[in-house]
Amino acid sequence: MTSHAAVVARGMGKPCVSGAGTIRVNYAKATMTAAGRTFNKGDMLTIDGATGQVIKVSSRCASPNFRANSQS
């Protein structure tokens, strides 16, 4: 099922998470809780769009090196 909000956001080039009824945001503490895990403001997260799983990124992401991967 696709939400209208997700379609509109995608057209605007923005991410959209819909149907996130179990996520709790504590604005006073600047935290978010999902599936029993608490995340702090500034934590790098990724959300699996198929399963809804929230994953904390444990290390810095590496930038791709397109020249090293190209086959000229």
The overall pTM is greater than 0.85? no
CA atoms of 18 and 14, how far apart (whole Å): 13
Look at residue 16 and tell me if it is in a domain.
yes
Number of domains into which the chain is organized = 1
Look at residue 64 and tell me if it is in a domain.
no
Please write the tens of the pLDDT for every residue from 9-57: 889 988 777 777 788 999 999 999 988 889 999 998 887 777 777 888 8
Look at residue 24 and tell me if it is in a domain.
yes
Look at residue 39 and tell me if it is in a domain.
yes
Look at residue 53 and tell me if it is in a domain.
yes
Pairing of strands 45-47, 54-56: antiparallel
